[in-house]
């Protein structure tokens, strides 16, 4: 086996998904990539994304394509078990000046860079590790978005927060509300509707 073959085998063990550029570094040419696909050693998941597995969880693909994005809004509420409504689109928080996302299944939520990592954590959903805002940040987002949400959906999520209120980190909620300059409004609303 050639050194490229050994390196490719190691790459396959270490990664599930890779971009065209990552494969090109290993296989050295478009021809070799096409050959690996023809041989069944790798599979084209979608344009520019490849896998060693024929079937890949959609969250793995989204995470690979947008590694700096953070799952938010309907997606995060669902992943955290705060809503049983399966979102029909994927909500991703991205930097305000980031490249446009041309995927109709994704709703980009543009966030000022200094706020992008506030409350960002990693969670595992259906075996996939993803970046998502924690429950405390999502409570802030829920209150901030109250007027634009369907009333029943908002009430469902508030009801879920009531059930877990003793498990929430109130210091983080306080810190986040200060960061977003909504401290009085958010705390008043949280006290009225959650605690």
Tally of domains within the chain: 2
Beta-ladder partners of 91: 107
- What is the C-alpha separation between 92 and 144, in angstroms, rounded? 17
- Same-domain pairing of 10 and 82: no
Q: Same domain for 72 and 34? A: no
Contact 180, 115 (CB under 8 A): yes
Do 30 and 87 reside in the same domain of the chain? Answer: no
How do residues 123-138 score in pLDDT, each as one tens digit? 999 999 999 999 999 9
Indicate the pTM of the whole model: 0.85
DSSP designation for 125: E
pLDDT tens column, 4-16: 454 444 444 445 7
Q: Are residues 157 and 100 in the same domain?
A: yes
């Amino acid at each position: 086996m050639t050194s490229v073959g050994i390196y490719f085998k190691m790459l396959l063990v270490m990664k599930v998904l890779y971009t065209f550029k990552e494969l090109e570094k290993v296989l050295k040419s478009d021809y070799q990539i096409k050959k690996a696909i023809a041989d069944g050693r790798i599979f084209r998941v979608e344009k520019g994304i490849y896998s060693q597995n024929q079937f890949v969880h959609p969250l793995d693909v989204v995470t690979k394509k947008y590694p700096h994005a953070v799952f938010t809004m309907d997606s995060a509420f669902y992943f955290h078990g705060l809503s049983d409504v399966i979102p029909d689109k994927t909500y991703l928080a991205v930097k305000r000046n980031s490249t446009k996302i041309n995927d109709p299944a994704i709703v980009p939520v543009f966030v000022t860079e200094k706020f992008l990592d506030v409350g960002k954590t990693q969670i595992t959903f259906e075996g996939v590790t993803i970046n998502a805002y924690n429950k405390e940040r999502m409570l802030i987002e829920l209150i901030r978005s109250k007027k634009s949400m369907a009333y029943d959906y908002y009430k469902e999520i508030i009801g879920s927060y009531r059930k877990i209120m003793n498990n929430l980190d109130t210091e983080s909620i306080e810190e986040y509300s200060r960061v977003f300059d909504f401290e009085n409004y958010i705390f008043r609303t949280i006290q009225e509707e959650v605690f």
